[in-house]
Amino acid sequence: MKKVILALAVLAVLFVFAACAPAPTAVPPTAAPTAVPPTAVPKPTDAPKPTDAPKPTDAPKPTVAPTAVPPTVAPTAVPVSKGALVDEVVFFEEPDSAKAVSMNESGDMNIFGNTLTDPKLFQTVKNSKNLSYAANYGGTRELTFNPYGPTFKDGRLNPFYVPAMREAMNWIIDRNYIAKEIYGGLAIPMTVAINPIFPDYAKIADTAKALEIKYAYDPKKAKAVFDAEMPKLGATLVSGKWTYQGKPVTVVMIIRSEDERKVYGDYVGKQLEDIGFTIDRQYKNAGEASPLWLSADPADGKSMIYTGGWIATVVNRDWAVNFDYYYTPRGRSDALWQAYKPAKEFDEVADQLARGRFKDSKERLTLMAKAATLSMQDSSRVWVVNTLAYTPRQNSFLVSSDLAGGITGSQLWPYTAQVAGKTGGQIKWGSPQLLTAPWNNVNGTNWIFDSTIIRATQDNAVLADPYTGLYWPQRVENAEVTVLEGSPVQKTLDWVTLKTAATIEVPKDAWADWDAANQKFITAGERFTQTATAKTKTVINFDKNLFKTKWHDGSTFSLADAMLGFIMTFDQAKPESPYYDEATVPAFKTFLPTFKGLRILSKDPLSVEIYSDILYLDAEAIVNARYAYIYPVYFRGVAPWHELSLGLQAEGAKELAFSSGKSTKLKVEWTNYIAGPSLKILEKYLTSSSTKAFIPFDKVLSQYVTADEAATRFKNLSAFYKQYGHFWVGNGPFFLASVKPTEKIITIRKFADFADPSNKWARFAEPQLATVAITGPNRVTIGQAAEYTVNVTFKDKPYAAKDVDFVKILVVDANSSVAVSVDAKSVKDGQWTVTLTPDQTSKLAAGSNQLTAIVSSKVVAIPAAESLTFVTLK
């Protein structure tokens, strides 16, 4: 099953694991600094300019977010050339952040590709004449629990098998302390599964704020829950220590050692020791930790708590999928996820949101608020902070950066990176960790530092705007999205057309499923007993030159590459398939009822129509989700059919496995296309395929590739492997030139046959992050009106009213309840007002209140917020 997870969680899967200071981003970036002056940006040759902003169908409701941070410098103008702006990028490992910053300063490193949250190093970077930084807001830190139980295979008790004790962990940690003291202010507390700096948080701000109040630090309440629940499992409190069957109840904590997680991991351990637990602290880096918490059999109990981190690699405009991704077995195929057992109601709500099963924006927000509440009761992970991170770089290193993912998470970094405004040359890129997990396109590494490099070797059909999260065409000419009348979908950019219809019928000859036993597609007419309908129809017209583009081994992109991708969407979840992987089944069971069919309208140029019931709020995001069905982009990268065929043969023979879960179960190597024991196995199949070309799913693919073409493909791959020593064949602006696993050095070089002008994506300069200030009375008499003014600026100039989606006002009263939630009124550019009515103030208790203004911009996806404290008197 190629990319069902990608299709179901097209935005959430933009998260990837981060090894060190950044958070993982399989699912999420890090800390945010302050401004750096932007340089001039070259004019694009053939790409459209971003529009002002989307106009949502239902005005979102605010989120609390950090104030403005520095823009990343965009590349300076250079003569038009083809492909990447530099000749080579050398990635090398440097785990010591202080040393890396020093190397930045001396010129031994152009960029330290990490999202740092160390406040002392931040001051060093800010005070340097030679250094700048990119700010990023997409990082999160959390506690990941192993819910297997109640006992592990060896008889040890697992308290976190019980949802109530996982929920109690919310009360045992002081998020404010962690954000202010451990992160030095480069983080904000995070309680629910939606980053508090992105738009969807704003839309459910009332619920989120109430949950933050409910789950605020209260160690006595946490202890009371453990005291009530532990005896139910047969545990006894002896002299202040919990025991089970005569032995101490020991909590195994896998604590990341590279960043602030070490400190807050120790803090959490101490909090648990204070209520009677024995703690086994195991300090691990990313590579050491992954086999223990992620891919190990949860029943072995190698990890009970992991100090997790995530990074959103793009500005995510739709977080509704987070609950399905983070709390259900459908989220990922890894062994830990398959141990998740959410309560029925929560599971159903998460599934509804993931499938887009809501009739309008109001129902969506109702479901999200419900999911947020139920997720706290589940607490398979407890969220700690949203980091405000910075990535240090030399002033001479210029690149477009994503507001969420920063430079390391940006889809555009390979297209824009350059040194000193010139073409050519080398970039020296330090990373805290490399080669954390095996590389394979289907289900390999998802760690941010690996993903950063992989992103440079692939060329997707659409790419994310680094400031708004909307998608721009890269290998697509245009698209047309049709949704049912009344659907909560908007469109912003001119390359997409949005239509509505009373009903959308699925053609009977559309491919709607896959028969793995007989290797043939099942049509909609065969799958459905009556005429099927869908909630969306998406027509995608690909670039007319798509089939002239090249793979890195010199092979020409073909329809066979696309068709294999579509087949793999289904095949791995079918027990009849030799490539069956049971871990793909939960996600597939969610996917298939929503997928209604695909039909090829034209083979060259490629044009397809796709029918699905999954909705996203933006038409551009719908296209991003749909193109992946018929484009060879897998969960971990793009791949040509002949490269993937080697892994398929090894998978079918049970010599290798694409997923970590399957490799653990079969006790075979996790497929790795770039290093390790996998290479000899893949080489064996390359040799046999070079003698007699192996075409996977030949009953179908042989219609799209001739024997001569197949022979040429394997000949090209053989020459590539002989020259470079690996099988990683992509189609991006860089190709993988060298891998040195022992030295932890990876080199990528400019791909000479890349099709686009070098400055195509150079138009992204700096984001218009708003600054908010509130003026008004700090003493209010209960029962009397009070007026407040909200001033919104960018670089000290009034923020255009047309570029502001809404300004939301929340008042939290002296009883820590959300007492008022209203929208402010626009007066003029840069100014909004709100009047608290006599009726509203009459309901406030005497004491200290906090008024928060949340500003949601249309031109950047990160809201800004500011608060003012006032006292109510009788």
Q: Are 823 and 856 in contact (CB under 8 A)?
A: no
Is residue 398 pLDDT above 90, yes or no? no
Q: Between β-strands 595-603 and 520-523, what pairing exists: parallel, antiparallel or unpaired?
A: unpaired
| d(C-alpha 95, C-alpha 518), whole Å | 51
Is residue 499 pLDDT above 90, yes or no? yes
pLDDT band at 607 (very low <50, low <70, confident <90, very high): very high
Q: Where are the extended beta strands (E) located within 174-220? A: 187-189
C-alpha angle with apex 341: 337 to 347, nearest 5 degrees?
Answer: 100
Q: Which residues are within 8 A (CB) of 573 and not within 5 positions of it... i.e. 6 or more apart?
A: 1, 4, 580, 581, 584, 585, 587, 588, 589
| d(C-alpha 725, C-alpha 451), whole Å | 20
Mean pLDDT score, 17-22: 36
Mean pLDDT score, 74-88: 74
Is residue 47 pLDDT above 90, yes or no? no
Q: Can you list the domains of the chain with their CATH numbers?
A: 471-619+627-632+650-676+685-718 (no CATH), 771-873 (2.60.40.1930)
Whether the link from the prior residue into 150 is cis, omega within 30° of 0, is yes
Mean pLDDT of the chain: 89
Mean pLDDT score, 72-92: 76
Is residue 48 pLDDT above 50, yes or no? no
Q: Are 806 and 62 in contact (CB under 8 A)?
A: yes
| d(C-alpha 836, C-alpha 811), whole Å | 10
Per residue in 566-597, pLDDT (tens digit) is 999 999 999 999 999 998 998 898 899 999 99
Is residue 853 pLDDT above 50, yes or no? yes
pLDDT band at 360 (very low <50, low <70, confident <90, very high): confident
Residue 132 φ then ψ, to 5°:
-130, -175
- 15 vs 382, more confident: 382
| d(C-alpha 823, C-alpha 863), whole Å | 14
Per residue in 754-776, pLDDT (tens digit) is 999 998 987 765 677 889 999 99
Residue 860 φ then ψ, to 5°:
-140, 150
- 76 vs 537, more confident: 537
- 21 vs 615, more confident: 615
Per residue in 633-652, pLDDT (tens digit) is 998 889 999 999 999 999 99
pTM confidence score: 0.77
Is residue 562 pLDDT above 80, yes or no? yes
Assign residue 92 a region (left: φ > 0; alpha: ψ between -120 and 50; beta: otherwise). Answer: beta
Is residue 311 pLDDT above 90, yes or no? no
pLDDT, residue 324, reads 95
Q: Which residues are within 8 A (CB) of 219 and not within 5 positions of it... i.e. 6 or more apart?
A: 171, 172, 271, 274, 275
pLDDT, residue 841, reads 96
pLDDT, residue 80, reads 63
Percent of the chain with pLDDT over 90: 73
pLDDT, residue 765, reads 52
| Local structure of 794: helix, strand or coil | strand
Cβ-count burial 143-180 (b if 16+ within 10 Å, e if not): bbbbbbbbbbeeebbbbbbbbebbbbbbbbbbbeebbb
| d(C-alpha 862, C-alpha 466), whole Å | 11
pLDDT, residue 1, reads 52
Per residue in 121-163, pLDDT (tens digit) is 999 999 999 999 988 888 899 999 999 999 999 999 999 999 9
